[in-house]
Amino acid sequence: MAEAKLAPNLPDWMVKHANRYLSSGGTDGHMYKTTLPKQGEVTVPSLLLTTTGRKSGDKFIFPLYYGTDRGSYFIIASKGGAPEHPGWYRNLLANPEVEVQVGTKKMTARARTASGDERARLWKKSLEFWPPYADYQLKTEREIPVVVLDPVH
């Protein structure tokens, strides 16, 4: 099987961020600095998620912001509030076995979509590290999925 590659059609800033993360082995890029309107500079933790393409079977890497909860990581399938789910989310619905890199630490994880009280609690936590998620939800009719990445031990 081919080595994982950056997902196609990523915005330029994500490509630069992911390349910095990958080329440093995770020592640079884990904590992503950016500027938000009305909030100034923020630092957001980011991980690299590798999914298996639902159509191609190829492995694709996506840089995503994350939170932690009870020994697991969680990510938000926002796509900036687009009407459709991001490709990486559709990939993990088809194959929930994923690879995750957090800083220099690499692991295999099983992805699942949070629901009910768990989703509500994690969504609230996600707004602490990335407040724009609230605006993204207002832009779309779909409920933005909260995905839990449970490490496989």
The residues spanned by each domain of the chain are 5-151
Integer Cα distance of 100 and 51 in angstroms: 9
153/130: higher pLDDT? 130
Q: How many CA atoms lie within 13 A of 73 on its CB side?
A: 26
Query: What integer pLDDT is reported at residue 1 of this predicted model?
Result: 44
Indicate whether 14 pLDDT > 70. Answer: yes
Q: What is the mean predicted confidence (pLDDT) over 25-41?
A: 89
Q: How far is CA 21 from the centre of its chain?
A: 14
Closest CA to 68 of 34, 98, 102: 102
Token pair of 46 as six digits: 């980011």
Architecture of domain 5-151: Roll (2.30)
Query: What integer pLDDT is reported at residue 30 of this predicted model?
Result: 94
Please say whether the beta carbons of 150 and 68 come within 8 A.
no
Q: How many CA atoms lie within 13 A of 133 on its CB side?
A: 22
- pLDDT more than 70, % of the chain: 99
pLDDT category, 92, cuts 50, 70, 90? very high
Q: What is the mean predicted confidence (pLDDT) over 53-72?
A: 95
The conformation of residue 39, written as its DSSP 8-state character, comes to T
Query: What integer pLDDT is reported at residue 2 of this predicted model?
Result: 55
Q: What is the mean predicted confidence (pLDDT) over 43-72?
A: 96
Q: What is the mean predicted confidence (pLDDT) over 76-97?
A: 96
